[in-house]
Structure 1
Amino acid sequence: MLATIKIATDDLEIGMFVSALDRPWLETPFRIQGFRIETRAQISGLRDHCAHVFVDTLQSKKNAEVARRVRRSNYQPVPLQHIFYDRQLGSYGDETRFAEEQPRAEAALQTLRNDLGQVYEEVARGGRVNVIRLKKSIEPLIATISRNPDACLWVTRLRQHDESSYQHSLGAAIWALALGRELGLSRQDLRSLALGALLMDIGKLRVDPALLQLRRALSPTEKAQMQAHVAHGLAIVEESGIIVPDVVNMVACHHERHDGSGYPRGLKGDQIPPVARIAGIVDTYAAMTRNRAHATAMSPSHAIRVLYDTRDTGFQAELVEAFIRAVGVYPATTLVELSSGEVGVVVAEYRSQRLKPKVLVLLNPAKQAQAAPTLVDLQNRPLPRGGTAPPLNIVRSLEPGAYGIDLASWALQGALAGA
């Protein structure tokens, strides 16, 4: 075994000896240049500041675990073009600034939210999906996410308090579009992704509402009734005359898992259609970051780490990593504490430097509300006078609602003008 290996910070374990970072030690809170990881808090700190570190295997405990991580590090990823072998992948670039795009994202989301609510109500009464209405409503959303996804992701996060039955599906559609954009899928493919995400849970309209609100573990019978929403969804799609293969596959397979542990058919690996692999990721992320009857919402960064840990078990590694690139290590609206002690919310990221996003500072170092939020650009922030103090950076992410912060209550529009 090599004496020193490069390891992604998401693969770190207690007992590993960190001998070097991917940045100068002085840019981090770690003042000892080389240490053995003893606590989860140290791992969290390393993840907050570094993408990868160098581990001395000779000074590490649990050498078997280190060896396993080395094997994972030597894994050869599957090219995205091989996953989407039947499609032409391209690329997108940011065409607008955050502040310019935000009102367009607001309008697009409001239109789709209203129309989706009407569609769900019609289906709940026994009607069919108004596909023409949904497709028309999807177009502005695709356009805004294609130009600059950060604005739409921000607006979506601020609306997470909406507990409408269809809100989960709306969130999943937005994450699916963000991932599809990152993958370089065509506009036509993005339309199918959005429609499939909006409809993949529509079968829950035929599940007992009381079952959806249970706060305890489900019995085997209840679990079977819940899982039947997939079959119900397929029936609704068929009754509505929807035959787009991607949409049908997303409804049918969004609960299948890479290792075969999903339902209803126990498909695994390449047996799962690529769009359904996307559906599974965004469905899971949307669920983890929302309050549910049986679980409170995770912070966006925590949910990202959970997804990262499911690579090649729950979900295909290459698609998980693409999703993280799409939404970021600190997704928009993540509450963070800075090295100054100030607390803020992530507004937008630089796709080249995920650890140095733009942060809207809300609380001062004493954790008291500032008179007015201040936008701080961690990547382009000038060095302190004399250049002797360490640069400002993120120390840790915080759970939603930390320090009593309710993002929906903050008047942020003026502060966002420079984003």
Structure 2
Amino acid sequence: MLKRIDVDQLTIGMHVHEFCGSWMEHPFWRGKLLLNDPKDLSAIHGSSIKEVWIDSSKGLDVPPGANAVLTAQSDAQVDSELLQAATPVANDLPKTREIARVPATQEMARAAKTCERAKHAVVSMFEEARMGKSVDVGGAGQLVDEISDSVARNPGALISLARLKTVDDYTYLHSVAVCAMMVALAKQLGMSESDIRLAGLAGLMHDLGKAVMPMAVLNKPGKLTDAEFKIIKSHPVEGHKLLLTGDSVDEIVLDVCLHHHEKMDGSGYPRGLSGDKISIFAKMGAVCDVYDAITSNRPYKSGWDPAESVRKMAEWANGHFDPVVFQAFVKTMGIYPVGSLVRLTSGRIGVVIEQTGKSLTMPSVKVFFSTKSNMRIAPHIVDLSHPSCNEKIQGREDPAVWRFPDLNELWSEIPGA
């Protein structure tokens, strides 16, 4: 029996079936859990969640005589109650959610919160996998929806923020970044809403196998030995095994986890698949995985500039990536992705803050340095796609050469980014 109750009625031993609210409002990455730790109960009470659904067949019921807000026999009835609460006429509901696009400057702060919450969710997911608990892929669905909503509002915001990782955060935020890029790429490829969601879920789960890799090897601050690399190369197979412990994990999610390191020329792993033997989703996973890996700081090297990374990937495209998928990826990210340091024809230097959608070579740039006077200037935004703009990008600049200490803060507008 499913019952909707006030959080004040929750007690140790109850099985939470679903939180009534966004995953952003509660402290758990999954939606279902058995309350057996007083800390979890305190965390729920400390959140903004007011009501939850409990399953009395899997845990304790409310005391005799206590009233529940609602009762239901199945998930279908729960969904029906939620639908009726949302609108009196179900037939008027749109088939897909309409989310208005907003400027990057408007989305950054919200994306930063989503990114941080998502990181903690992935940390919890990996910790549960390390402890041998079955993987609740379904519980990650709301997380994917929140990331997808941010991508819909502005693709560059969350994807770019997730690139800013510490060494300790890398594995977790990498999963968040790949999830966001998979969603954006799936949209670019014209996939259905269900496939877009599965692509995001696959991106979130693609590196689950790293949960069982030795931390000393995973975070080694130098080149791996052949023996250590062999261990790391086992993570797709190990992740696939972990996913199989969950209930009804979609084949797309399993496929991307197992095959995101395959290459078009057959030189990848673990199966050495080539060409059409690799699924479209695994090909997408390969592109997104590599981009985030090479643009992020790692224990053994600093990340490359986003524009330089796209150029390098284009050089590898023939043997490594599917050309159609890679071209769609470039259209998604831009030739000069958010965070790229560029020099304009005026001699001014700026950082890309947003794609304009009008041309891959005409993003919006925040200029802040004059090479003619060799000094900083008041930052201001130049939309290179605007008809009145007579400037163009002259070329990429190497951040390692210029060493601007506030470069990330300039494009993200988040202090200390």
The TM-score normalised by the length of structure 2 is 0.69
Q: Is the Cα contact below 8 Å between 1:362 and 1:369 reproduced in 2?
A: yes
Question: What are the superposed Cα offsets for residues 154-188 of structure 1, whole Å, 9 maximum, x if unpaired?
Answer: 4334x344741311111111221121111111221
Paired with 2:382 and 2:155, the residues of 1 have a C-alpha distance of 20
Which of 354, 366, 375 is matched with 1:368 structurally? 375
Q: Does structure 2 retain, via aligned residues, the 8 Å contact 1:378–1:392?
A: yes
Counterparts of 1:1-400 in structure 2, within 5 Å, are 95-157=101-163, 159-161=164-166, 163-164=168-169, 165-365=171-371, 366-370=373-377, 372-380=378-386, 382=388, 391-400=390-399
User: Higher mean Cα deviation, 104-113 or 227-236?
Assistant: 104-113
Distance 2:238 2:412 in 1: 42
CA deviation after TM superposition for structure 1 residue 242, in Å? 4.8
> What is the distance in 1 between the residues matched to 2:248 and 2:316?
32
| In 2, Cα distance between equivalents of 1:152 and 1:311 | 25
Q: Secondary structure at the match of 1:294?
A: coil
Shift in alpha-carbon separation, 1:411–1:166, aligned structure 2, 3 A: closer
Q: Give the Cα–Cα distance (whole angstroms) in 2 for the partners of residues 354 and 314 of structure 1.
A: 23
Q: Letter of the aligned partner of 2:375 in structure 1?
A: Q
Deviation at 1:402, TM superposition (A): 4.5
Whether the 8 Å CA contact 1:329–1:354 is kept in 2: the answer is yes
Q: What 5-or-longer segments of structure 1 have no aligned partner?
A: 1-89, 384-390, 415-419
Residues 94 and 395 of structure 1: is their aligned pair in 2 closer, same or farther, counting only changes over 3 Å? farther
User: Is the 8 Å Cα contact of residues 343 and 367 (structure 1) preserved in structure 2?
Assistant: no
Structure 1 residue 106 displacement after superposition: 3.1
Question: Computing the radius of gyration over CA atoms, which structure comes out larger, 1 or 2?
Answer: 2
Aligned length: 316
Higher RCO (CA-CA < 8 Å; seq separation 6+): 1
1:93 CA displacement: 10
Match of 2:403 in 1: 404
CA distance in 2, matches of 1:313, 1:160: 29
Equivalent pair of 1:193/1:247 in contact (CA under 8 Å)? yes
Q: Secondary structure at the match of 2:395?
A: strand
Which stretch shifts more, 279-288 or 92-101?
92-101
TM-score, length of structure 1 as denominator length: 0.69
Q: How far apart are 1:97 and its partner, in Å? A: 3.3
User: Contact 1:373/1:412 (CA < 8 Å) preserved in 2?
Assistant: no
State the Cα distance separating 1:367 from its structure 2 match.
4.0
In structure 2, the residue corresponding to 1:256 is in which secondary structure?
coil
> Taking structure 1 as reference, are residues 172 and 367 closer, same or farther at Cα in structure 2, changes over 3 Å only?
farther
Rounded to whole Å, the distance in 2 between the matches of 1:119 and 1:173 is 15
Instruction: Indicate the larger mover: 350-359 or 244-253.
Output: 350-359
Once the two structures are overlaid, the 10-residue window that deviates more, 263-272 or 405-414, is 405-414
Rounded Cα–Cα distance in structure 2 between residues aligned with 1:409 and 1:143: 23
Residues 119-169 of structure 1, C-alpha deviations (whole Å, 9 max, x = no match)? 222223333333343211111211221243133334334x34474131111
**In 2 relative to 1, CA 337–123 (structure 1 residues): closer, same or farther, beyond 3 Å?**
same
